[in-house]
Chains A and B, each alone.
Chain A
Amino acid sequence: MVSAQTGNEKQYRQLLDELSDVIHRYLISRFGYHDFLEDCVQDTLIAIHNARHTYDGSRLFRPWLFAIVRHKSIDALRKRKSEQAKVTHRGLEDLETNGYAIDTCSSQEWDTSITQGRLINALAPPFRQAIVLTKLIGFSNAEAAKHLRISETALKVRVHRGIAKLKRLIEAEEA
């Protein structure tokens, strides 16, 4: 990065290449395999580019890098709308037929990717359900609220608190 600050294109390109893989693996381990992670990686690379002048070469690179990564990942999750979810939305019946237990948001036979991320798994069930249904699977607020038998307002509160909890969990990793 210090070299990039002087305008070295070749080394900067190499850095971004390597960082993109590191960031992708980091996000997968915390959130599981999801379509929005690629957008998150790209947004993070852009943020790194825009913030590169703030990196102090006399300090460790990792805290600077992962502060940006953590911020962008929570930001991406917060902004994600149900219609943007590219995970196949098969309908509740189809999901349940394939072994996905909506009530616990855990998967046995079906694609386990939805709850593989350890941060998602660390959430209390009410928050995990709300976030998985709306942000990861792609249900609308109305659909998710109906399934969970709560009001839309209550669902939104759970999503908001769930994201806040995720933010605290991911920031706790800074230590």
Chain B
Amino acid sequence: MSSRDSIIQSLSEDLQPVANSVAVDSKAMLWFVLTAFYVVLVTQWLAPIRADAFNQLVTVPRFFIESLLGLMAIVMLTLAAFRAAVPGRLTTRFAISGLALLALWLGNYVYGLIDPTLEPSMAGKREQCWLQTATMTLPPIIAAVLLTRRLYPLSPLRTVFLFSLAAGMIPALYMQIACMYIPEHILGHHILPGLVVGVLGCALSLFYRR
């Protein structure tokens, strides 16, 4: 018997049924909703949000579109991250679309340095908002790894990077409502901590079994 036949024989002997553990899109959306809920709760608990933020969402279309763009980018990143944990599920096109949407959203704040969406104001200033953004991301990243570690990501680093990015951007997005609106502040104290955590979270790729 050739070594290939031996391997096939041993793999198929005493074959145990396995529970199909996919439905990754459902898991992704569950994770996203729970993470968003957690971020809102923790943010509200730490300090009140900016008083006129929701009013601005309704009365300033550009602010609404900007926030919606961020939301769409994060949802796509979340889907991409969970799909990356299953072989062949994530297409390059989808991954690039998600990242492009993210770049578009973030680019909007860079453009806001010369033409801000809202009148820059210190109203709603939160102490150490950057720390709040960074630390809020850890539990969702860990939860994402735990939810997917029994799947089979072919590139654990890519999978965790996408999770970490999504987890970092959710509080970054909500800070646009919770904290003051000044583009320089947004980029440095909301977005940047989220991106940094996105990179640091990659260390958790070690926890994927092989």
Given A13-B9, A45-B11, A174-B92, are A54 and B22 also a contact pair (CB < 8 Å)?
yes
Given A7-B15, A53-B21, are A17 and B87 also a contact pair (CB < 8 Å)?
no
Report the minimal beta-carbon distance from A87 to chain B, rounded to whole angstroms.
19
**Closest B-chain residue to A6, C-beta based?**
B17
For the complex, is B103 an interface residue (Cβ under 8 Å from A)? no
Interface residues of B in 80-129 (CB under 8 A from A): 85-89, 91-93
In-complex Cβ contact of A71 among B18, B91, B151, B154 (8 A) = B154
The answer on a CB contact under 8 Å between B16 and A7 is yes
The distance in angstroms between the C-alpha atoms of A64 and B9, with both chains bound, is: 22
The distance in angstroms between the C-alpha atoms of A42 and B11, with both chains bound, is: 11
The answer on a CB contact under 8 Å between A68 and B154 is yes
In-complex Cβ contact of A42 among B4, B13, B18, B150 (8 A) = B4
For the complex, is B1 an interface residue (Cβ under 8 Å from A)? no
In-complex Cβ contact of A56 among B12, B17, B22 (8 A) = B22
The distance in angstroms between the C-alpha atoms of A6 and B20, with both chains bound, is: 9
For the complex, is A113 an interface residue (Cβ under 8 Å from B)? no
The distance in angstroms between the C-alpha atoms of A49 and B4, with both chains bound, is: 14
Q: How many residues of B contact A (CB 8 A)?
A: 31
Report the minimal beta-carbon distance from A2 to chain B, rounded to whole angstroms.
8
For the complex, is A145 an interface residue (Cβ under 8 Å from B)? no
The distance in angstroms between the C-alpha atoms of A71 and B93, with both chains bound, is: 18
Is chain B's interface secondary structure helix, strand, loop, or mixed overall? loop
The answer on a CB contact under 8 Å between A171 and B152 is no
B residues less than 8 Å from A7 (CB atoms): 15-17
A residues less than 8 Å from B87 (CB atoms): 51, 54, 64, 67-68, 71
A57-79: CB near B (< 8 Å → 1, else 0) gives 10100011111100100000000
Is chain A's interface secondary structure helix, strand, loop, or mixed overall? helix
The answer on a CB contact under 8 Å between A42 and B152 is no
For the complex, is A9 an interface residue (Cβ under 8 Å from B)? yes
The distance in angstroms between the C-alpha atoms of A146 and B87, with both chains bound, is: 40
The distance in angstroms between the C-alpha atoms of A59 and B12, with both chains bound, is: 23
A residues less than 8 Å from B9 (CB atoms): 13
**Closest A-chain residue to B91, C-beta based?**
A174
A residues less than 8 Å from B17 (CB atoms): 5-7
B1-38: CB near A (< 8 Å → 1, else 0) gives 00110011101111111111111000000000000000
A-B pairs, 10 with minimum CB distance: A67-B88, A63-B88, A51-B152, A7-B17, A53-B18, A13-B12, A67-B87, A64-B88, A71-B154, A56-B22
Q: 27 interchain pairs (CB within 8 A)?
A: A4-B15, A5-B18, A5-B20, A9-B14, A12-B15, A20-B8, A42-B3, A42-B4, A42-B7, A45-B7, A45-B8, A46-B7, A46-B11, A47-B152, A51-B87, A54-B22, A54-B86, A56-B20, A56-B86, A57-B20, A59-B89, A63-B89, A64-B87, A67-B88, A67-B89, A68-B88, A71-B154
Residues of B within 8 A of A (CB): 3-4, 7-9, 11-23, 85-89, 91-93, 150-152, 154-155
Residues of A within 8 A of B (CB): 4-9, 12-13, 16-17, 20, 38, 41-42, 45-47, 49-57, 59, 63-68, 71, 171, 174-175
